[in-house]
Structure 1
Amino acid sequence: MGRWHYLTLSPEAAVLDGRAFPLDPPLRAEEFAQEWATLWLAANPDPNRPDEEIRQAQKTVTAGWLEEL
């Protein structure tokens, strides 16, 4: 069985399993909202969304800052 991970996101930092990764500079509110929406779509594909949009979200998350966590 897989291990659960705990990810907390804020405009100032990402925290994975208690280890903080500060974002410098912090994200503006609209940037944070976009990053969160992309991460959500990548993790929770919506069958009503175009496949290409889902693939792009997953590619963005894989290639983005989350990869460094």
Structure 2
Amino acid sequence: MSAYVVDASVAAKWFAEETYADDARRILHADNQLHAPELFLLEMDSVLCKWVRRGVVNESEA
């Protein structure tokens, strides 16, 4: 088992086809233990708001 600290920039790649998305998804295995920084949810909110402004997703998807 491996342990990873995942920030929002990595987690966002799980949901969108961005550069290094495949690399980010490789850690999504049951054998891995994932941890997130305290501000993770706030950072993810920021990512989703940016995607809505850019038209990547609509508000209901975000």
Query: What range is the shorter-chain TM-score in?
Result: 0.3 to 0.5
> TM-score if structure 1 supplies the norm length?
0.31
User: RCO (CA 8 Å, sep 6+): is it higher in 1 or 2?
Assistant: 2
Structure richer in strand, relative to its length: 1
